[in-house]
Amino acid sequence: MIDQKELTAKLHHVILIKGFQTVSMSKLAAAVNVSRASLYLYFKSKDEIVQAVVARHLQFIAEHPVPRPFAPATFLPIWLDSLLLMGSTTETFTTELKRAYPALYQQLTGAHRVYFAQLEVYIDQAQQVEFIDPALPADYVLFQAEALVQTVLQRVQAHQLTLDRAETYLVATLHLQLWGLLTPAGWEQIDTTHLESFKATILREFRATYALIA
């Protein structure tokens, strides 16, 4: 028995790298190691697959809202969730989505805009209590983080970084962000108990997606 949630996740990874407009249902089935007949049991068309992939993305945002107001205990999980979101789409996917499904594209990008606007407010609140360095503009904090994450992922897609090296860079980016953002008072309040499990989740998603690059 195939788990539909797991199947959707695998299809999501494939579509991020290979797109969907020129990929047949047969090729999608082969990419996720199921028969074409099995794939059709869960999804009657590529339309349904794309809708499920976007829904999965929106569900993640809905299930990981930005807390209000800021509290030190919420910082690490929300920051790691945001890094995961920064790397959760590709230009291939968003370009094809905009062209083929403009309503879904608007829904997805709109959810992203709202999420990161709320995150900017959250960061500003953290700066007001000097948990995050107040010398850094809140919008720049997000800009720098996204730029670092996206640069690593784009280099992998361009075959300029191996998967192993990219993993090293992603972990280094995470540590650089934490050391660069938090004040000494912030470090005293942060709980790093689950840091390793959060990093493992980020790297697992990265591998599941970018290992598909030929």
pTM of the model: 0.91
- Cβ density class 77-99: b for 16+ within 10 Å, e for less: ebbbbbbbbbbbbbebbeebbee
Question: What pLDDT digit, counting tens, does each position of 99-122 carry?
Answer: 999 999 999 999 999 999 999 999
- Closest-CA residue to 107 (of 118, 122, 94, 90): 94
Residue 126 phi/psi, 5-degree rounding, is -65, -35
Q: Are 97 and 46 in contact (CB under 8 A)?
A: no
Question: What pLDDT digit, counting tens, does each position of 11-58 carry?
Answer: 999 999 999 999 999 999 999 999 999 999 999 999 999 999 999 999
